[in-house]
Each structure stands twice: as C-alpha cells, then as structure tokens.
Amino acid sequence: MTTIHLALIDWIIIVLYFVAIIGIGLYLRRFTKTGEDFFMAGRRNSSWVAGLAFLSANLGALEILGWTGGTMKYGMAVAHFYWIGAIPAMLFLGLYMMPFYYSSRIHSVPGYLKLRFDERSRLLNAISFAVMTLLMSGINLYLMALVFRTILGWDWNVSMWVSAIAIASYITLGGLMSAIFTEIVQFFLIWFGLFLVSVLGVIELGGVDKVFGGLPDAMGRLWSTTGVAANNEMHVTWAGIVMGLGFVLSFGYWTTDFLVVQRAFSSKDLRSARLTPITASFFKMALPFIVVVAGIVAWRLAGQPDSGFKLLHHPNNPSEIWHDTALPMLIARYYPPGLVGLGITALLAGFMAGQAGNVSAFNTVWTYDIYRAVINRKASDAHLVWMGRVTTIVGILLSVCTAYLAMQFNTIMDYIQAIFSWVNAPLFATMMLGMFWKRTTSTGAFVGLIFGMIASFSIFIGFKLFEPTMVSSGLAQILTFAPHPSEMSRNLWQATWGWGVCLVVTALVSLVTKPKTDEELTGLVKGLTPKTDETQVPLIGRPIFWAAIALVVVTALNLYFW
C-alpha cells in the first residue's frame, strides 16, 4: 500500500537525479585512464572537495534513517555518536595520522599495514575489511529498498536493483572521481532536502523550547544521566561512552576505515589531506540538527494521539514499531508535491552516497591488497584499472546478496555498530601501536589482530546464543558493567574488549619477537617521520588552527546539552 503520493513533478525530480549521476560517470570516464585516476581520483582534490566527499561517504543509511529513528529510541544520547563519537577522532586523523598515510603514497589502509608490518597483516585486514564493506553495502541496499517498498509501495526487488545498477554504472565508468563528485552533489541534496523537515517540525510544535523543553532526563540530556546505566535510554555509563564509543569505536572507524580515509588520499598535497577530516568535522557536528531534532519531533508527535502521526510496523516483525520510518513519515507530513520528490531524492542520495563509498573502497582494497598482492603481482596499471571496474560490478552483485542477509535483522543500527566492533576496534589498537611504538613487531601485529577480532566476535555470539544464562550468571555485568545492557551498550563494550585484547596481545608478542630496523620504519612511525613544515603557511591555513576551533565548538555543544 502506497503511503506517500508522488505527483508528476516528484517523479521528474527523482528521474533527473538518476540521469545526472550516471551522466557524471560518463563525463569523467575520459579523465580516468590510470590506476591513480581510477582509485585515487588523480590525487588532485582540494581539502574542501575531499572534505565534503569524506563526510558524504559516511552519510548512508545509518546516518540518515538510523539515527533519526535512533533518537526516538535513545533520545539526545544519539548526539554522542557525533560530538564524542566522531569529532575528536576526525581531528586526530588529520593532525597525527594523515602524515603517515599520505606520505607513504599508499592506495589503502591495508597498504600501510604492508609497509609497517608485513603481507600477513595486510591480507588479514584486507579480507576482513572487504567482508565488512560488503555487509555494509548490503545494509544500504536493504534499507533503501525496504523504505521505498513500505513508504512508496515500490516492489522490493525493482527498487534494490535500480539502485544497484545506477551505482555500478557511475563508479565503473569514473572510479573514485565519479564517487567523489556524486557524493558532493548528494551532500547538498541531503542538507537542502532534509533540513527543512526539522525546521517545519519545530514550527508545528511551537518552537525549540516546545521541542526540547520538558523532555524526560533519560531522553533529553547527554552526560548528566550517565552516572548510572539505568538512568538513560541507552543503558550505558559515561565510561562506556568515553571508552567504547569516544575512543575505541570512534577512533577505530574514523582513523582506519578505508571507506572514509580514501577520500583524504585523493587530496592534492599533505596539507590538504590533513585539512580534509578537519573540514568535514564542522559539517559532522552540525548533523544532529537534522537527525536528532527530527527524531525528537517524531517522538513528540507520536506521543500526541490527536497528531495523526504514526510510524509503520516493521515488515519482518509486525509487532514491532519501525523507528527507521520516522524521517520518511515526517517528509510525508510536511512536504507538498515537488518537495516530496526532493525529500525522497535526498534519502536516495544518502543511501547511494554510503553505497558508493563502500563499493569504491572495496574495489581498491580487492585490486591492490588482494588481487595484486596474491593473485597477479605483475599486473600492469591498465590491467588493474580493468580489474577495478570488474570488481565494482562483482561488489554490487555481492552487496545484493548481503542485502538479503541484512533482512534477517530488525535493528540495523545496532547491527552496524557490531560489525565495526569486530573489525575496526582491534585494527585501531594495531595502528596505534604501529604508528607510535616502533618496538611493535610484524608477528605481534598479526597475532594481536586475530585475537582481538576473535574476542569481540565471541562476545557478540555469546550474547546472541546464551543471553539468559549470561545475564543470570552475572557475566554481562562483568563485560558491560550493567546487569541488563542494551544491544548498543553491548556493542560499545565488546569493541572495548576487542581493542584491549588486541593491544595487550600485540604488545606482549612484540616484546619477545624481533622488530624492524629504524631504516625500515622511516616515514611510518612517529619519531622516524619528518615533521611537516608549515612555518610559511599563514595561521588561518594551518590544520592545527581549524582543529582547535572545531574542538572548542564541540566542547561547547557537549556542555550546553550536558
């Protein structure tokens, strides 16, 4: 049953969007001749272009639908995933880690592991990242198709395959450059298409004070309710937020996930590469004014019986309210014909931005870190470009398969955080030790990564299979410091345990194995990498200047909503 009626003008807007992104791919194909062009966008982008693409690659299903619906479930606590769970890590990436990445001229994060450690660590991370990327791609396709099937009445298979074919077309033609250009278009579509939802919601409810005033403490505060897990809707303490989210998951994602880091690699020079995540941080900290405000508006309306606002029930579990439909239902409530098409196109752009990021990262890691490293070490540059295009098609097809897997999960947002805890959290421990402790050895890194991933995944499986026993025995209290942790709280703590196990095992094994020489580590480890000289750059053009401003602003936001 169709819930939102689309007028002719709405359909025209949606069709024009598809035509435009495929046209971009066709146009940029003429500039995509070498591997550097296809996989790194020629390394000629400014910090603004790379920064917008950096953030847009993260604006997928989780960002738009997940956290708007998540606000209805967890309240203002969702802002933690921006103001503590993103900004510090993005600034750290730009100031401290980007010099190691960019200066080594690598094509991917696994490529750094090869230089710093050995082929084993590179291949282990490349395979785990490829699997994670395909799972994330499937989630994007699944949520987009499910939203359009449920909200618009579109056929499930048609909506998913139309999206898959469009994404495959422009990335296959233009590679990373196509992805970056379309991500920038999608960035502005998302802001212009969705910000108005929050504005209209605030106006209908009578102003900002009416939206946020009188909220229960468990819904309306960031830090004041985190002393005891039971006092907030996420059922997590401040320690879990700071350690599990603010440090492990945040730094693990923003500093090691190639999906976003790849955009910084496309910058024209090191200073632009360092500014890329710092520039993106200002837009990132503003996003709660879309997703959190919209989520609170939806929560308010849902609590008013005479408002006429109702969420749909989850197709896979009819007894469960589907929080992820909050934003589409707000679009249906507020937007007239024409604007509905813009709003739906903005949602579509968000899904496709995340999908494009996953696919372009997957084809690079497969081509350089698996295919060339293991299968065809003598492949020419032209052959690698051909392989990248083929891998894009294969990646899209595999994403369709993982989309059907994602259908089995009712809580996609929690599922995504669980995936990050398996892969990114242990990897961050490896990268941190590798960049800042030259005594870290290749064997230590490889063994630590394996143990860290096993630890995190084992906790996840333990809760899934033996949850009643674990809770009654007190093991959940030991692992999460809460007797009845929410699924999100478990994700934060299993990420912390995975990081901790990897850190300890890597350090212990490194102490009894032989490290590389200083000559082998030049440019890869702090203390052995030449410092960037920015004395000739005006203060306003230095990364440290803008990072300091971003840190002040995000601190003020945390204090204001304390």
Q: What is the pLDDT of residues 261-277, one digit of tens each?
A: 766 766 777 787 888 88
Considering only residues 32 and 186, tell me which one the structure prediction assigns the higher pLDDT. 186
pLDDT band at 280, cuts 50/70/90? confident
d(CA 58, CA 161) in angstroms, rounded, equals 22
**pLDDT tens-digit map of 124-171:** 888 888 888 888 777 777 777 766 666 667 776 777 777 677 666 655
When pLDDT is cut at 50, 70 and 90, the band that residue 381 belongs to is confident
Most confident of 49-58, 119-128, 216-225: 119-128
In a domain, residue 477? The reply is: no
Average pLDDT over residues 217-242: 81
> For 341-367, what is each residue's pLDDT tens digit?
777 777 777 676 667 667 777 777 788
Q: Rg of the chain over CA atoms, in angstroms?
A: 23
Q: State the chain's mean pLDDT as an integer.
A: 78
User: What pLDDT was estimated at residue 40?
Assistant: 45
Distance CA 100, CA 106 (A): 10
Looking at residue 97, its pLDDT comes to 79
Question: Does a structural domain hold residue 396?
Answer: yes
Query: Span 426-454, mean pLDDT?
Result: 92
DSSP reduced 3-state for 275: helix
Within a domain: residue 430?
A: no
Q: Which residue has the higher pLDDT, 77 or 360?
A: 77
- pLDDT score of 473: 58
Rounded to an integer, the average pLDDT of 359-387 is 78
CATH of the domain at 74: 1.20.1730.10
Cα angle 132-499-373, degrees, rounded to a multiple of 5: 45
Please check the confidence at residue 468 and state whether its pLDDT lies above 70. no
For the chain, the domain total comes to: 1
Contact call for residues 452 and 426 (beta carbons, < 8 A): yes
For 285, the token pair is 């900290």
Query: 109-118, 168-177, 242-251, 533-542: which range is least confident on average?
Result: 168-177
Q: How much is the pLDDT for 452?
A: 94
Q: How far apart are CA 415 and CA 430, in angstroms?
A: 23
Give the residue with greater pLDDT, 231 vs 551: 551
Q: Give the per-residue pLDDT at 552.
A: 95
Give 325's Cβ-side CA count (13 Å radius). 25
What's the confidence (pLDDT) of residue 38? 47
The answer to whether residue 470 scores a pLDDT higher than 60 is no
Name the residue with higher pLDDT: 417 or 82.
Answer: 82
pLDDT in tens, 11-49: 888 788 777 766 766 666 665 555 444 444 445 555 566
Give a yes or no: residue 260 inside a domain: yes
Residue 3 maps to a domain: no
Question: Residue 266 domain-assigned?
Answer: yes
The verdict on residue 472 lying in a domain is no
- The helix/strand count (H/E) of the chain reads as 27, 2
Residue 426 lies in a domain: no
| Domain around 88 | 8-410
| Lowest-pLDDT range of 10-14, 76-80, 257-261 | 257-261
Separation between Cα atoms, residue 418 and residue 491, nearest integer Å = 5
* Residue 81 near residue 378 (C-beta atoms within 8 A): no
